[in-house]
Structure 1
C-alpha cells in the first residue's frame, strides 16, 4: 500500500462479490488506475476490506475471526458513563410515559433529540480515530440534551422537521436502520428504536441492516449486534465506569426491554444474528451481501432487487454514517449546493430515506449557499473533521 503496488485480484474464496471486485479491477488495470493511489478511493477502500476478509475466508480455522472485534469491544467498554446517562434518561421517560404518549408535540421534540443522539453517536468511528484517550472517547459521546443544543450550529443541512412530519402520519409502521459503527453508536440506534416502538404509535417494527464481514474496522456484524445486547444485560460489563446502583438498574431495565423486543421480532437484524462471518451457506444472507460490495447505492433496484424490494416495504430507511452517505451520493465531488435528490440518482424516491452523517469525507450536498459560505470562512476542514453534520431526508415518490 505505502509503495503504491498494483492491487491483486481477490482469490475465489467462496464468498460474495469476488467476480464483481475483480471485474472492476481488470477495467482499472486497463486504464492504469489499479494501485492504491490511482484507483477510485471508494473502490480502493472497499477492496481493502474485502481482500482482507479473503485471507481469513480461505483458512481452515480462522473463517469466523474478526480481526477488529477486540478494538470494538475496548471502545464500547469505555462508553459506560454515556451509556448510563442515556439509560437513566430513558428511565425518566418510562416514568412519564402516560404524559408523553398523549402529547404529540412532546413526542416530536423527543424524536428530534433521538435523531441528534444517533447523529452525534456516529462521531465514534474506529477507522478514523485510532489513537484516542478515554476522555477523548467520552467527549465525542457526549449526547445529552445540553450538548446537542450546542451542536445544532454545526448541522449544515437539517431536515428533522420534514422527517417528523412524514413519520407522524404513519401508524404501526416499519423503520429500517442501515447501520454504521458497532459499540456506542449501535447502542444509540437501539435506544432510538426502543423509543420509536415503546413511546410512539407510529412504529411497531424496526429492522437493522449490518455487514456480513469485518468492514471499515468498526462496522456492525451480526455477532456485534448480538454481543451488544448481551453486554448491556451484564451488570459487570462497564465495571470501569463509576455508577450508582440505580443507574445500573436503569440500564438493565432498558436492555431487558430491548432484548425482549428482539426475541419477539419487534426489533430484528436483517439476517439471523447467528449468521457466521461471510454469510454461511444458503440464501439467508442475501439481504446483507449488498452492503459490502464496491457499488454505490444508485442502482440498487438492478444490483440487488431483493433488497430494494424489501426496503420498499419500509416507512423510513435511516442510513447511518459517512460511508453510507458516500455510497448514496456516488462518492462524487458534487457542488455542495446540489440537491440531495439529484445526488441520490436513480435511488431517489424508492423509499422514504433519511441520512444521518457527520462529515468525514469530501462529498456533501443539499447545503444552502449562505450556510456554505459562512462555514467555509470559519473552518476550511469542515468536510472531513467530523465536527459538522448533515440530516438529509427525501420522501418516497408518489
Structure 2
C-alpha cells in the first residue's frame, strides 16, 4: 500500500503501536479521491433532483409553504455541492433541531490539521468528510418548516425492495425447507451467514444511487462465490453461538447496513437463528436518520414489513406476520442510537456513547453488516493487509463481534501473506469492486 502522510487531527485512538494514517481524498487516484470527486457530487445531484420533483406533492400537502421548503432545501444542497467540488472549508452544522449539533461542531474543531487549518473536503479524513456530507443533507431538510421527516432516499430504497422480492422469496423458502428437513444447524447458519454477507453487494451509495439490487437466485451463487471470501471465520462465529447457549439467555445484535435485499438476507439469518433456538433475543440497530443512501432506518424497517405483508406471495405475507409477532413479543427488537450517524470510529464508542457501549456488552455476538461499519471498526486507516482484524479494531470489544462485508473501499485487514499482491495483479480494483468479501471475527476481551 502507498505510504501516506499524516491526515487530519481529532480525538486520536490509543494503541500500543503507531497507527497508520487515515484514508483521504487528498491522494489523487485513490478510491477516496474518486469518491469525493465523482460519487458524492452524483449523490448530491440525485438528492437535489428528488427534492425539486417533490415540490408539487409538498405544495399539495402543505400549500405554498411546502413548495417553498423544497426550493430552500435545493438551494442549501446546491451550495453544499459547490463547496464540495471546489474544496471549500467545512462549515459548522446549523442548529437544525437535532440533538447531535453540538457534537458535530466539536468534531469540526478537533479535525483541524497540524497547521491549525479548518478541514476541507479534499484534505480531511475520508470517513469524516463522507459522514459530514450526509449530515449536511439532513441539516438542509431539518431546517425546513414542513418536510423535517422527508427521506430523500426513501423511494430508491423502496424500489430496491420491490426489485428483490423474487430472490427474497427464494431465500425465505429455502430457510423454511432447511429447518423442516432438519438439516444440521451449523450448516444452515454457515449458509445464511454467507447469504447475509453477499446481500451486502446491493449498496446504493457505492453505485451513487443507481439501481444495484439482487435479481438472481442467491442459492445458485453460493458455491461460486465461496472462493471470493478472503477471510472466513464462520467456524469461530458458530463456536461462539454454541458456547453462548450454555449460558442462557442468548442475545444477538445486528448493526444493519442497507435496506432492500441485504436487509431481507439479514432478517432471514435472524429467522434461522431464532427458529433453531440458538438465540433468545435479537436486536436490530438502525440509523437514526437517512444515511449513506440506502441504510436502514426504523421507518424503513416498518414499511419493509408492510410491503411484504401486502404481497400476493403467501411466503412473504407469512414472513412479515411472523416478524411482526416477534416484535410484538419483544423477542426481536428495533433500536437506534445517535452514535451510528456520527463520524466516529467504533473504538471511541465507550467514551462518546458509554450507554450504547454498555448495552452492546450485554450481547453474546454483534454482527456488523457492510462496508461503512467495517471502515468504522478498523478506523478507516491505511493498514497493511496482513494486520489482524483484532489489532485493527483497536480495543473495541464490548463483546464478541463479527463483520460481514463485501469490499467496496480500499481498506482490508486479516489477509494471508502475498494474497493482496496476487489479487492486485489480477484486478487493480479488487478492494472496491464488491467482488470479494470477508467474514471477520474477534472474541470478547476479558481484560
TM-score, structure 1 as length reference: 0.86
TM-score, structure 2 as length reference: 0.77
**Alpha-carbon distance in 1 for matches of 2:254, 2:171:** 20
Matched, 1:155 2:204: no
Residues 154-175 of structure 1, C-alpha deviations (whole Å, 9 max, x = no match): 1111101111111122224000
Matched, 1:167 2:241: yes
**Alpha-carbon distance in 2 for matches of 1:187, 1:89:** 13
Q: Which residue of 1 aligns with 2:334?
A: 269
> How many matched pairs?
358
**Alpha-carbon distance in 1 for matches of 2:217, 2:148:** 36
1:33 Cα deviation (Å)?
Answer: 5.2
Residues 97-143 of structure 1, C-alpha deviations (whole Å, 9 max, x = no match): xx34xxxxx1101101010000000111111124756xx6335x642
Instruction: Calculate the aligned-residue CA RMSD, in Å.
Output: 1.7
1:378 Cα deviation (Å)?
Answer: 1.9
1:4 to 76, 87, 97: 87
SS of the residue 2:292 aligns to: coil
Q: Which residue of 2 aligns with 1:110?
A: 188
**Alpha-carbon distance in 2 for matches of 1:259, 1:191:** 14
1:184 to 234, 242, 261: 261
Q: Which residue of 1 aligns with 2:174?
A: 89
Structure 2 unaligned segments of length 5 or more: list them.
1-83
Matched, 1:79 2:164: yes
Q: Which residue of 2 aligns with 1:129?
A: 207
**Alpha-carbon distance in 2 for matches of 1:174, 1:310:** 11
Residues 226-274 of structure 1, C-alpha deviations (whole Å, 9 max, x = no match): 11111111125xxxxxxxxxxx222222222122111111111015xxx
**Alpha-carbon distance in 1 for matches of 2:346, 2:414:** 18
SS of the residue 2:130 aligns to: helix
2:153 to 47, 57, 68: 68
Q: Which residue of 2 aligns with 1:143?
A: 218
1:16 Cα deviation (Å)?
Answer: 2.9
In 2, are the aligned partners of 1:91 and 1:254 still within 8 Å (CA)?
Answer: no
**Alpha-carbon distance in 2 for matches of 1:326, 1:333:** 11
1:69 Cα deviation (Å)?
Answer: 0.3
In 2, are the aligned partners of 1:174 and 1:205 still within 8 Å (CA)?
Answer: yes
SS of the residue 2:346 aligns to: coil
Residues 321-354 of structure 1, C-alpha deviations (whole Å, 9 max, x = no match): 001011111101100100111101121x321001
2:316 to 215, 227, 251: 251
Structure 1 unaligned segments of length 5 or more: list them.
101-105, 237-247, 272-287
Q: Which residue of 2 aligns with 1:244?
A: none
**Alpha-carbon distance in 2 for matches of 1:189, 1:258:** 12
**Alpha-carbon distance in 2 for matches of 1:181, 1:325:** 13
SS of the residue 1:268 aligns to: strand
In 1, are the aligned partners of 2:213 and 2:260 still within 8 Å (CA)?
Answer: no
**Alpha-carbon distance in 2 for matches of 1:370, 1:38:** 31
1:22 to 105, 110, 127: 105
SS of the residue 1:168 aligns to: helix
Matched, 1:303 2:342: no
